[in-house]
């Protein structure tokens, strides 16, 4: 399972506290964006890759994270 960057769990927790009708979907979108940004900003400096490759990797990581969250909710 993908670990959330430090501070991101707190932001998500705060959003969950104020959520109302329809906020579940907005929370998922916000989580995806924050996670993708964090992954893009924490790129390995020793690894050479294009911006397109970095975005693709972040997208895959977000999908994996969402999939793992859905599995844990259904258990």
Q: Where are the domains of the chain?
A: 24-74
For the chain, residues with pLDDT lower than 70 are: 1-6, 8, 12, 15-16, 18-23, 39-49, 73-75
pLDDT at 6: 67
**How high is the pLDDT of residue 38?**
72
> Residue 30 burial (CB < 10 Å; 0-12/13-18/19+)?
middle
């Amino acid at each position: 399972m993908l670990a959330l960057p430090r501070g991101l769990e707190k932001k998500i927790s705060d959003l969950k506290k104020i959520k109302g009708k329809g906020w579940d979907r907005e929370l998922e979108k916000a989580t995806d964006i924050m996670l993708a940004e964090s992954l893009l900003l924490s790129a390995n400096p020793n690894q050479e890759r294009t911006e397109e490759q970095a975005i693709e990797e972040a997208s895959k990581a977000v999908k994996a994270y969402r999939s793992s969250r859905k599995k844990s909710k259904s258990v």
